[in-house]
Structure 1
Amino acid sequence: MTSSNKVGESTHIKSDISPCAAPEIRGIVEQKENWGGWATTLNDATIFEYIMRQVGCESVAVRELYSMEEDYLREEKSCYGIIFLMPYNEHYETQAGEELTNLPDGMWYSNQIADNACASYALLNILMNLKNVPLGTQLEGFREFTLGLLPPHRGQAVDGFKSIKNAHNSFCFRYEIEEADLILYEEAVGDSDSKLEPGSKENPRTKRTKFKEAEEAQDQADQIDGPHHYIAYVQVGGCLWELDGLKQTPFKVGDCDNENFAVRVGSRMRELTARCSDLSIDFGIFALEPARAPQLDKQYQTNAREIGAIEHKLQDTDPHSSLSKEDIIRSGLLILTPLDTDDFGHHDGMATEQLLELRTNLIQKQKEIEMEKDNLFNEESRKALELARNRHDYEPFILTMATMVWEQQQAEKQRQAETKPNKPNKPKKRGRKRR
């Protein structure tokens, strides 16, 4: 698959495909948008990126990591932060942070006040702590609005952030909304059917043993099919912080820098997973890092301006060596005038042969960037198609098709019964009796 996008244009594919105009589908979309709750989120890096793109953040990408071992994480040098997905229950709660009267200088932290929203809270707890990274108008405005709020109040602001809530709930199905509302209802009114069983005369020691066995069995089941929780790790002020929205305050893991950030996070994740008795349980690890497309655009523009500076210098020293307009048009090469802030002082003192060699290398780099941009465009196209499929709720379609097939089968049976001719009774043949 190839693309015809020009370098310098955005490679981002609009994954927010317009929904079907059918009333049933439109009704499901409106139900998601008007729903006040939060649905669970799949552990997929593409979904995290989709949430960011829907609120205007184009400069950050999400990539899944496949190991928490030190040798693997040592190569991760450009992480903005890491999100860790782990089984969550009372036995494996993360270590609570110290009671802090004030957050560290420059830290943005929000408590999680909404159920099933830990993915978006973890995402925001990293994005809001990024400095000198363009996040887009919505996120930067949200950070400015919540800068002076306490963590619980920030949590309420996140719960009311409609854009990110709609993006978060884009992949939920109708039955998940109904199930979440039912759970909330049962928690509010209580389970009227639950009654305390009368005490038995069973040996207390036997009862404790059975209770412990049942607790361990339930513990194993929760690790596989039970609730999971997203936790954010970010570096602020030269320290590694664990930002678990369910905790009142952040937890300071220890000192770290850009070089050993991922390694320190891996050590902490291994500490948490050691509490799980079944080490075969799957965990999710997602790294937030600079998006590749903006970097390629910036490098391409810089190379184009440097080629322009070389051409300007060649026209002054050796006009026959400069590129003609026909060559530029034929090759599709982009040449820009250098900016006042550009410093190409290393061109001074270069001979014509050196300038030509440098120009050839830059043109080759531009071709490589164009190929990588095309690959990114194709990858974004694949992600957009995958997201569109994941966002669509196929339940109404399946129910409608099943109903249509059943009705067609019933109508066919009825038609066969009505058109079947009545056969006359044939007289019975009388056989000869043997004597």
Structure 2
Amino acid sequence: MSTAKQSRPKRKAAQAATESMIPEDIGPLLEELLSRMSQDERKDYGGWVELESEPGFFNAMLQELGAKDFKVQELYSLDAEILDFLPKPVHGLVFLFEYEGENEPSDGNRQDCPAHLWFANQTTANACATVALMNIIMNAQGAGLGAQLQDFKNSTVGLPPPYRGHFLDENDFVRSVHNSVARRIDLLAEDLTLDNKYEESLKRRKAQKKSSRSSRKKVNTETNYHYIAYVPVNGQVWELDGFQLKPLCLGPISGSWLETASTAIQERMKRNSEYSSYSLLAICQSPLYALSGELATSLACSHVLHELFSGNTTWIVADPFKTFSEERLAQLNLTPEGIKSLQLPASFVAKMSQPDFGSTEALSLAWDLRMEQDSLEAQYVAELGAVEEAVEMIRGRQRDYTPAIHEWVRALAEKGVLRELLQEANHN
């Protein structure tokens, strides 16, 4: 007579937890995993975490890098009307798409990187967002990079693209800014992901060697995303893909370079699956400097009018440098000396040169300038607020509350409160 083998009944999770809160062999590892991460540890981390296509993060990243002349803006369409609304000049476009690996077309029109083009290859995993960003701002004209990025550009300007990519990967400053939102657990998870991908690649290679039955390709269900850049340089439009050894010239600029880039992006979209998702970012000149310059010019005109007509009894407009004190101007990145040294616009000089231009006309013009200055200052403050909001968003994500929660839970466990709660949950 045979007896049926009885399986051991499964314990509830709460009951199991009350018997052994934390195994002794993983306790130290858990402590290290949940501890707060220092800036030195973040800097010493040699990998790159995967970034989401979030304009706010890229704006904050540019601020941290010292490249404050740039602004990243998300695009929802490539229509000409939408592109016209972008702050000018537009230094480049970043296109994020689902990368199809072996299905990606190989373009025979690629050429060796010319001396006037800064192009870096991607030499490490998950760095494509920063590589695309660098491939744009390093080619931007009339925009400051900040001291550290300028030094990096100067030191790599004569190198071929693979070496530029290698030294970008080795740049602690850029990498630490790229990883600035990551927590310790994120970095460990990234290391584990890369390790798993490596193990999977080894298994696939072994399987391919053992099996030669079918030539049909296995469908890759894993979704990988990739960033590439489009830039106007030296009268030509370029596609800069860090995965490609050479850049691709899309042709000379005729009209707006954005039209040429838009056509190339739309053609790439057609080649991908209809279910593929995309994201598009524009790297523009920050409006802050244009607004500051316009405000300075307007104040210079007001100053000249005040100097010429303030002695008139009908003149009731205040001195612009009393309305805009030095402290107020400093917040707008301006100084009285800099404003007074500006060359006056030709249109303003022409108005003042008219024979019938007197105190009445000057007073009307002064009020118009005053309204213009209020509007420009309001736009500047709003734009500056958007930049600070982006930086604060990243700082908020940098606040890792995991260590505090871990300490709180551990304190509950040491006092026996956590065990009581688990036992109570088990009884219920």
The equivalent residue for 1:11 is none
Paired residues in the alignment total: 376
Q: What amino acid is the match of 2:233?
A: V
2 CA distance for matches of 1:114 and 1:299?
Answer: 43
2 CA distance for matches of 1:357 and 1:31?
Answer: 61
How many percent of aligned residue pairs carry the same amino acid? 24
Q: Does 2:60 align with 1:50?
A: yes
Larger of the two Rg values belongs to structure: 1
Question: Deviations for 1:131-160, whole angstroms, at most 9, x for unmatched residues?
Answer: 222222222222222111111121122112
- In structure 2, the CA distance between the partners of 1:400 and 1:191, relative to structure 1 (3 Å rule), is farther
- In structure 2, the CA distance between the partners of 1:130 and 1:273, relative to structure 1 (3 Å rule), is same
Q: How does 1:274-313 map to 2 (within 5 A)?
A: 274-277=270-273, 279-313=274-308
Q: How does 1:183-262 map to 2 (within 5 A)?
A: 183-185=193-195, 196=207, 211=216, 214-215=218-219, 218=220, 221-222=221-222, 226-257=223-254, 259-262=255-258
Q: Does 2:170 align with 1:154?
A: no
2 CA distance for matches of 1:199 and 1:380?
Answer: 56
- CA displacement at 1:172 relative to structure 2: 2.3
Contact 1:68/1:269 (<8 A) preserved: no
Question: Deviations for 1:355-405, whole angstroms, at most 9, x for unmatched residues?
Answer: 111111110011112222332344334323321222334444455555556
Contact 2:50/2:127 (<8 A) preserved: yes
- CA displacement at 1:25 relative to structure 2: 5.5
The equivalent residue for 1:384 is 391
Runs of at least 5 residues in structure 2 that lack an aligned partner in the other structure? 1-32, 330-334
The equivalent residue for 2:72 is 62
1 CA distance for matches of 2:292 and 2:411?
Answer: 52
- CA displacement at 1:300 relative to structure 2: 1.7
Q: What amino acid is the match of 2:261?
A: V
Q: Does 2:377 align with 1:370?
A: yes
Contact 1:70/1:267 (<8 A) preserved: no
TM-score (norm 1): 0.75
2 CA distance for matches of 1:141 and 1:71?
Answer: 38
The equivalent residue for 2:266 is 270
Question: Deviations for 1:59-93, whole angstroms, at most 9, x for unmatched residues?
Answer: 11000001234554355463110000011132442
- In structure 2, the CA distance between the partners of 1:414 and 1:42, relative to structure 1 (3 Å rule), is closer
The equivalent residue for 1:342 is 343
Contact 1:70/1:266 (<8 A) preserved: no
- In structure 2, the CA distance between the partners of 1:412 and 1:58, relative to structure 1 (3 Å rule), is closer
- In structure 2, the CA distance between the partners of 1:168 and 1:412, relative to structure 1 (3 Å rule), is closer
1 CA distance for matches of 2:409 and 2:195?
Answer: 31
Select between 361-370 and 61-70 the one with higher mean Cα deviation. 61-70
- In structure 2, the CA distance between the partners of 1:260 and 1:198, relative to structure 1 (3 Å rule), is closer
Instruction: State the SS of the aligned residue for 2:101.
Output: coil
Instruction: State the SS of the aligned residue for 1:385.
Output: helix
- CA displacement at 1:94 relative to structure 2: 5.4
2 CA distance for matches of 1:313 and 1:47?
Answer: 49
- In structure 2, the CA distance between the partners of 1:186 and 1:413, relative to structure 1 (3 Å rule), is closer
Contact 2:321/2:336 (<8 A) preserved: no
Q: Does 2:360 align with 1:353?
A: yes
Q: What amino acid is the match of 2:148?
A: Q
- In structure 2, the CA distance between the partners of 1:153 and 1:189, relative to structure 1 (3 Å rule), is same
The equivalent residue for 1:132 is 142
The equivalent residue for 2:24 is none
- CA displacement at 1:268 relative to structure 2: 1.2
- CA displacement at 1:193 relative to structure 2: 6.5
- In structure 2, the CA distance between the partners of 1:121 and 1:197, relative to structure 1 (3 Å rule), is closer
**Aligned residues: CA RMSD:** 3.5
